[in-house]
Structure 1
Amino acid sequence: MKKLALLGLAAATAVSLMAADGAALYKKCAGCHGVKGEKKALGKSAPIGGWDKAKVVEALKGYKAGSRNVYGMGGLMKGQVASYSDEDIDAVAEYISKLK
């Protein structure tokens, strides 16, 4: 029984360690959007810091799918989020929503 409990605890720890890190994922965004999401990316977009999480998720999923092209940035943003999983998108959206 103890072995089973330890195995369960180890598995839970491994999953939490592999969870997407929104702050780490955002680092590649900061060059254009600013450390706190305060910049207009390439002088075009609206600042994104503090956006509602659902709005960020919708935007990133749209860019990833190629169905969003706001300010003519669709192609660039599609490349930026192409490798993001749904978990990554959720994590970075959570992080962006808390930027001030």
Structure 2
Amino acid sequence: MKKIALGMIFAAASLMAADGATLYKKCVACHGVKAEKPALGKSEVIAGWDKAKLVEELKAYKAGTLNRNGMGAMMKGQMASFSDADIEAVSEYISTLK
């Protein structure tokens, strides 16, 4: 019985886990499908960035402590609804784009 309960908990947690590809759909208009565009012609291309750098930058935008190329306010708004788990998931996904 304990194995069944643990299995159900694990399955529920997996279903609730953030999906980076789905979360990234919010970013596509500015950054491109493969993160190949400089957003609004201002940002760096983020394709090829490693996960740690992405997490650091996205958390800084969310906190309002980063304003790279004047994009701070816009990115703070974009990140407002993202949890730390969402940031981790979307960063993992972006890091796979080349």
Do both proteins adopt the same fold according to a TM-score greater than 0.5, normalized to the shorter chain? Answer: yes
Deviation at 1:4, TM superposition (A): 2.0
User: Separation in 2 of the partners of 1:67 and 1:4?
Assistant: 46
Of the candidates 69, 72, 92, which is equivalent to residue 71 of structure 1? 69
How large is the Cα RMSD of the aligned pairs? 0.6
User: Separation in 2 of the partners of 1:51 and 1:27?
Assistant: 18
Moved over 4 A (4+): none
Say which SS state the counterpart of residue 11 (structure 1) adopts: helix
User: Separation in 1 of the partners of 2:27 and 2:65?
Assistant: 20
How many residue pairs were aligned?
A: 98
The amino acid across from 1:24 in the alignment is: T
5 Å-filtered alignment, 1:44-59, equals 44-59=42-57
Q: Note the residue ranges of structure 2 that are not aligned, 5 or more in a row.
A: none
User: Separation in 1 of the partners of 2:62 and 2:3?
Assistant: 40
Give the TM-score normalised by the residue count of structure 2.
0.97
Percent sequence identity over matched residues? 64
Of the candidates 61, 78, 81, which is equivalent to residue 80 of structure 1? 78
1:39-84 alpha-carbon deviations (Å, 9 max, x no partner): 0100111110110111100100000000000010000000000111
1:37 is matched with: 35
Give the TM-score normalised by the residue count of structure 1.
0.95
Of the candidates 87, 92, 95, which is equivalent to residue 93 of structure 2? 95
Bigger-Rg structure (1/2): 1
Deviation at 1:7, TM superposition (A): 1.1
